[in-house]
Structures are given as structure tokens and as C-alpha cells.
Amino acid sequence: MLRVRPKDTVGPAKQDGVVHRIPCECGKVCIRETGRPMQDRIKEHDRHIRLARTETSAVSEYAHNTGHKPLWNEVKFIDRDPYYYTRRVKEAIHIRLYTNNINRDSGIEIPEAWMPKIKTHNYKRAMQQRTA
């Protein structure tokens, strides 16, 4: 009898096309998107910090200017989208939701009229996750 084995699921760190949050020891976060696997981008941020390449990474610039260290073990996968533009929209939304961030910019422009609905949706989603 032939048995079919489903593919092993790919962990968030190995998925491409993700939005992720990098926490700092001071409580601030950096929210970024990447079309590549998240673990590859995190390794790059770490390398930029070690080599003091502050122009290529907001995380490196913040670490260099403050002496704070990112908490690499606590990087969190936030969202996923295979399409660049919609991933950028998601990144911008999460940057706006997490105001205590070290991002250099707010991502692409999100209409202010969207924010009340986004905040309501995000609150409802958070409440569902807590009760699940």
C-alpha cells in the first residue's frame, strides 16, 4: 500500500516574504519586511552590527548609537505575503501599530482614515488569540 506523506511544514524563520519584529533589550522594536527567509535577513542585521555598518540597517544604527543589543532569540514573525507591495503595506501598518519602534521611517504611506479600522481589527484579533 502506498502512503502519501505531506510535506514538512516550513518554520517561520525559513519562510520568505515575511514581516517580522526585532525586539531590543530596551523594549523598543524594529519592524521590517523581507522577500527572503527571515533567518537570512536576521543574520545580515547581526553582521551589520558587528561590522558597524550603520547606513545599511536601522537595527545596526540603533545598536551602535545606544549600545543596546537586539534580542535575536525573540524575533517574532508577524505576517506573511508573497507580494512585495502588499507586504510593504502590512509592514507600514505594523509600524504604525507599534509606536515604540526604532524604524527610520513609517514605511509606505497609509491613509489616516484606515487606522481606526486597523486598530479595531488588530484588537479583535488579539482578543481571539488570547481566548484560543
Q: Does residue 66 belong to any structural domain of this protein?
A: yes
* Continuous H helices in the chain: 38-50, 58-66, 84-97, 115-131
Range of the domain at 78: 15-131
Q: Does residue 84 belong to any structural domain of this protein?
A: yes
Q: Does residue 8 belong to any structural domain of this protein?
A: no
Would you call 30 helix, strand, or coil by DSSP? strand
Check residue 16 and give its pLDDT.
85
Q: Does residue 9 belong to any structural domain of this protein?
A: no
Check residue 131 and give its pLDDT.
80
Q: What is the CATH number of the domain that holds 125?
A: 3.40.1440.10
Widest distance between CA atoms in the chain? 63
Check residue 15 and give its pLDDT.
82
Per-residue cell: 15: 519562510
Check residue 49 and give its pLDDT.
95
* Cut 0.75: pTM above it: yes
Q: Does residue 69 belong to any structural domain of this protein?
A: yes
Per-residue pLDDT of the chain (132 residues; tens, 9 = 90+): 556 666 666 676 788 899 999 999 999 999 999 999 989 999 999 999 999 999 988 999 999 999 999 999 999 999 999 999 999 999 999 999 998 999 999 889 988 898 899 889 888 888 887 887
Q: Does residue 3 belong to any structural domain of this protein?
A: no
For residue 59, count CB atoms less than 10 angstroms from its CB and return exposed for 0-12, middle for 13-18, buried for 19 or more.
Answer: buried
Q: Does residue 35 belong to any structural domain of this protein?
A: yes
Check residue 130 and give its pLDDT.
81
Per-residue cell: 94: 505594523
Q: Distances in Å between the alpha carbon of 42 and those of 5, 65, 90?
A: 31, 19, 19
Give the count of domains, the chain. Answer: 1
Q: Does residue 126 belong to any structural domain of this protein?
A: yes
Q: What are phi and psi of 24, to 5 degrees?
A: -110, 155
